[in-house]
Structure formats: structure tokens, C-alpha cells
Amino acid sequence: MNKSIYLALDFPTWADSKQFLESNNLQGSPVKVGMELFYREGPYVIEKLKENNHPIFLDLKLHDIPTTVMKAMRNIAKLEVDMVNVHALGGSEMIRSAKEGLDIGGSNGHQTKLIAVTLLTSMDNETMNSELLLPGELDKNAVHFAEFAKQNGADGVVCSVYEARQMKAACGSSFLTVTPGIRLKQASSDDQKRIATPNFARENGSDVLVIGRSVTKAADPYQAYKQVVKEWQHGIKT
């Protein structure tokens, strides 16, 4: 799974996603299914993607009481996706329960990786201080969340590229850093605050890229995807 690029399928339906993947020759590429698509289609979309050999990151960012998260994860484990995530802000007991649910629900020797969201990449320091009332520096807080996520069973974190090196230093090189907020040079930043190019991510401790609009909203999504692959896997700046 290391060094994969998960393409964010931020589409309203499976039909839209299928059409996008087929018309841009992206069949079989790793994909991220988020709330928009999953809440519409449910496990059906996972079945369809698996039939078409897509590795899947199920990005549902669970955040509830520990028992509820454990039971939800027990069911999610049966979908046999590569990765699923929780908000680290749910606390250590919730993270342990998520892991327990994945362990209990897993079958066929399949192990779904548990990833923790530290602080959303759309969050900035000022918002974290003034709205969440979390004092201090955003990157230090994100590392703190990663450390306790790891201690409680997480296999990695979703984090900004700008924090990936610190995450590795604090949690070890095998702790996965999954980085959204990726933009090709020419693309708009949209609502992401801490953006980076695939090449910058490659050079700064990112293990797994998550990319959406830079590809899905590009004039030529196939070419944009190829550009991401070139930068990410071969370090070729374009």
C-alpha cells in the first residue's frame, strides 16, 4: 500500500464515479470513498469498486462514543477495504474501540488499517485557537494527537504534508502518513489551507497521497493524474 495515490471519489453517486473512472481510463486505480458517496450508495459502492479491482480507503472519519464506534468498525471490517479512519479528537478509548471492532470483524486474514485524523487540513492555527479553544501551535497539537493515536492502536494518521516529517520522528518510520491537501502547481487551493504539490509530499515524509479536485476538476483528468503519478513516484517536476 505504501506510496499509493488514493483518488478522492467526491461524486454524488456510483454512476457518476463509474463514468468518471471509465471515461478517464482510471479503472483499477486506488480510490478514496468519502461521506458524500458512501451515504448515498452504502456498501454497494464498495462492492462495485472491489469488483473492478480498486484498492479502497474508506474515509468516514468516525467520531462517536467508543461502543458505537467499535460496532460500526466491526461491520466496516467486513467490507475488506485497505484503510478506514476516525477523528483522534474522539479520544484514546474511542481509538482503542475502533481497533477492537476491526480486529473482531475482520475475516479471511484481511487487516484493515486504522488511520486517525489529527486536525483537518482545512483547519488553520487561528481557527484551532479561537474556535476549538485549543491553545498552542497546530503542528505540535497534531503530533500530540498522532502519538496517542499510535499508542491506542492506530496504524497511521491523516495529516498535512507539512507535518509528515514530525509525525515520522514522533511515531516511527512505519507509522503511515496519509496526506490530503495536494495540489498540482496550476490548480486552485479551494478550501484547503495547507496545500503541497505531489513532489513536495514525496520529499517530505508522506507515505500515501490523497488527491481529489486537482484531478477530478482538471480540464483533462487523465493527464492531471499522470502528472501526479510522475511527480509522486518518480520525483519528476512538471
Q: Judged by CB, which is closer to ligand C5P: 73, or 142?
A: 142
Grid coordinates in use for 233?
513516484
Q: Judged by CB, which is closer to ligand C5P: 152, or 160?
A: 160
By beta carbon distance, the residue nearest ligand C5P is 212
Closest separation in Å from C-beta 229 to ligand C5P: 15
Closest separation in Å from C-beta 18 to ligand C5P: 18
Burial class (CB within 10 angstroms; exposed 0-12, middle 13-18, buried 19+) of 20? middle
Burial class (CB within 10 angstroms; exposed 0-12, middle 13-18, buried 19+) of 42? exposed
d(CA 46, CA 227): 27
DSSP class of 178: E
Q: What is the binding site for ligand C5P (CB under 6 A)?
A: 8, 10, 34, 59, 117, 120-121, 158, 180-182, 190, 192, 210-214
Burial class (CB within 10 angstroms; exposed 0-12, middle 13-18, buried 19+) of 63? middle
Catalytic residue among 61, 113, 150, 168: 61
Closest separation in Å from C-beta 175 to ligand C5P: 16
Closest by alpha carbon to 144, among 128, 126, 122? 128
* Site of grid cell 517536476: 237
* Site of grid cell 483537518: 120
Closest separation in Å from C-beta 106 to ligand C5P: 23
Residue 36 has phi, psi (to 5 degrees) of: -55, -50
Q: Judged by CB, which is closer to ligand C5P: 117, or 146?
A: 117
d(CA 175, CA 82): 15
Is 237 known to be catalytic?
no
Closest separation in Å from C-beta 53 to ligand C5P: 21
Q: Cite the active site residues.
A: 61
